[in-house]
Amino acid sequence: MKDLIFEFNKIKSIIPKGSTIYLEIDLIRLKNFFYKKNYKVVLEFLLTEFKKIIGKNGNLIVPAFTYSWGKDKNKKIFDVKKTLPKTGMFPNFLFLKKEVLRTNDPMFSFLILGKDKKKLSTIGKSSFGKRSLFEKIDKDKTYLVSFGLERFDPTFVHYVEEYFDTNYKKINYRFSKKYNGLFKKDNKFKKDFFYSFSRNLKLNMFYNEKKIKKILLKKKKLKIVNFHSFEVFITLARDFFNEGILGMKNDKFFFVKHRQ
């Protein structure tokens, strides 16, 4: 694990201690470490290293998406304490930690660890709009970190798109969709609703990192760390938001491309 400590020092040189980190993580490229060690040892090590970065005053936010009320679900039920994340090994490991809070979002929930976890986990009825977690981290000094992903693809982009759609000009490749389902707590069910800025399936439009990545790199607002066998992308949420809005003002398809 000594090799990974050296790699984490690169990240620590970019993100100040006490920061809030929005972490999207895929561990497939660290599979050799899981072969050599017990998987829990590796996961605890990774969590410890991220805890060192956030310190006592920061926060760690990790996606724990379930899409529980999606069209493909026969039983549209979400239990904030029991419904398992569908976002990989690390979120499922973090999910079991007692000190972690989870947002009550049946589609795009998050696990939060840190000083402001109660404030951050208190959300409204929108995944990407008003009173969402994304609105809160956009106003704070939050770093978007893509760790082990194949590309620079922060889910935060949908917050930027919805903000533009609401405040500037309508986009047609996504729209605010109302989802209905059941919240489950203590074996009791409650009917409710939630809004998520969802993709228009009739249009063959998909996220494209090329433009935002190029601009952020040119302005030195995106850092790329060579970490073991992959790249880690790091940028401030506020920088991503500002450049994203500017890009969409010039071209509302700034974040997407048509797939053949």
Backbone angles phi, psi at 248, to 5 degrees: -70, -30
Average pLDDT over residues 143-161: 95
* Closest by Cα among 142, 143, 80, 136 to 108: 80
Q: What is the pLDDT of residues 166-179, one digit of tens each?
A: 999 999 999 999 99
Q: What is the pLDDT of residues 61-116, one digit of tens each?
A: 999 999 999 988 889 999 999 999 999 999 999 999 999 999 999 999 999 999 99
Which residues on neighbouring strands pair with residue 234, listed in sequence order? 145, 223
- Tell me what pLDDT residue 2 has: 74
Pairing mode, strands 77-78 and 256-258: unpaired
* Closest by Cα among 70, 69, 97 to 81: 97
Are 108 and 48 in contact by the 8 Å Cβ rule? The answer is: no
The Cα–Cα gap between 15 and 169 comes to 34
> Taking the CA atoms of the chain, what radius of gyration do you get in angstroms?
18
Q: Which residue is it, tokens 């999606």?
A: 70
pTM: 0.95
Name the band, by pLDDT with cuts 50, 70 and 90, for residue 35.
confident
- Tell me what pLDDT residue 259 has: 73
Number of H helices, E strands in the chain: 9, 12
26: its two tokens: 């895929």
- Tell me what pLDDT residue 235 has: 97
Please report, in angstroms and rounded to a whole number, the separation of the first and last CA atoms in the chain: 43
Q: Is the pLDDT of residue 140 over 90?
A: no
Average pLDDT over residues 216-222: 98
Helices 210-218, 237-250: axis angle to 10 degrees equals: 120
Q: What is the pLDDT of residues 116-139, one digit of tens each?
A: 999 999 999 999 999 999 999 987
Q: Degrees (nearest 5) of the Cα angle 30, 33, 39? A: 100
Of 248 and 36, the structure prediction assigns the larger pLDDT to 248
- Tell me what pLDDT residue 260 has: 60
Name the band, by pLDDT with cuts 50, 70 and 90, for residue 231.
very high
The Cα–Cα gap between 122 and 127 comes to 12
Are 256 and 207 in contact by the 8 Å Cβ rule? The answer is: yes
The Cα–Cα gap between 118 and 130 comes to 17
